[in-house]
Amino acid sequence: MNSRPFSSIILAAILCIQFFALTVYGVHASSKLYIVYLGEKRHNDPKLVTASHYEMLTPLFGSKEEAVNSIVYSYKHGFSGFAAMLSESQAQILSEMPDVISVTPNHKFTAHTTRSWDFLGLDYNSKDNGLLQKANYGEDIIIGVIDSGIWPESESFDATGYGPAPKRWRGICETGASFGASNCSNKIIGARWYAKDMSSRDLKGEYLSPRDGNGHGTHTASTAAGKAFIF
């Protein structure tokens, strides 16, 4: 078996454990997690984006403190939005605001993997033509994967022959259980993990780190940006 890496595909792996089960102080027991999408950012400063989220929620909770406590995650870089613990009536009020595009209850999803290359219409036996060649094998591309994590020891993520990350990269390599700074490389240039306030039952079998506990994230990351194996 011969192999060659994509010329400069760079992988940013992000662990997003599949659902949230949260308890936030100051929030009513009947509250549930909702994802509120606001679309394009109105500020370049991420702090101002988050401040606008607090401002939107404060009238619903009666105080800024409770509004701040209700937010689980604030999305402030690529777009504007937040995940927050809300009652059904609060979610309904938000959904009717003109600046709100959507309010979606959080759901638990089970990951599935089967024949990804066929599903994407890719010819994995192609050496000299097809989509990969047209895309210059991902030259200088940063790919972000939101999934169950990544197994950095996989041969698909061998960093041999790769130079440093592009200067435009602003991410970090977040460490955790069985995942240290050395698990990032010139191939896996960054990693994050998210599991705020989840119960021990929901985290069973998961690593509290970007390390992949079930293989799905490793599969999808290697499909998108792994080494090309030519048989």
As a whole-number percent, the residues of the chain with pLDDT over 70 amount to 77
The per-residue pLDDT for 115 is 62
Inform me whether the pLDDT recorded for 137 exceeds 70: yes
Location of structure tokens 């999408």:
37
How does 81-118 read in b/e, with b if 16+ C-beta sit within 10 Å?
A: bbbbbbbeebbeebeeeeebeebeeeeeeeeeeeeeee
Query: Do 152 and 182 touch, CB atoms closer than 8 A?
Result: no
What is the Cα–Cα distance from 226 to 11, expressed in whole angstroms?
Answer: 8
pLDDT at 58 > cutoff 90: yes
For residue 197, what pLDDT is reported?
A: 65
Task: Judge whether 220 and 117 are in contact, CB under 8 Å.
Answer: no
The pLDDT value given to residue 202: 79
E-assigned strand segments in 40-172: 71-75, 80-86, 102-105, 142-147
Residue appearing with tokens 């599949």: 18
Q: What pLDDT is recorded for position 180?
A: 96
State residue 5's pLDDT score. Answer: 43
Q: What tens digit of pLDDT does each residue of 75-119 get?
A: 999 999 999 999 999 999 999 999 999 999 988 777 765 566 666
Which segments within the chain are labelled E, that is strand?
Answer: 2-4, 10-16, 32-39, 71-75, 80-86, 102-105, 142-147, 188-194, 228-230
Share of the chain above pLDDT 90, in %: 53
pTM of the entire structure?
Answer: 0.64
In angstroms, the CA 46 to CA 94 distance is 21
Q: What is the DSSP letter of 121?
A: T
- The residue type found at 189 is I
Its CATH class, for the domain covering 32-105, is: alpha beta
Cα 105 to the center of its chain, rounded Å: 18
pLDDT average, residue stretch 174-195: 95
Structural domain spans, the chain = 32-105, 111-230
Predicted confidence (pLDDT) at residue 150 exceeds the cutoff of 50: yes
* Coil vs helix vs strand at 72: strand
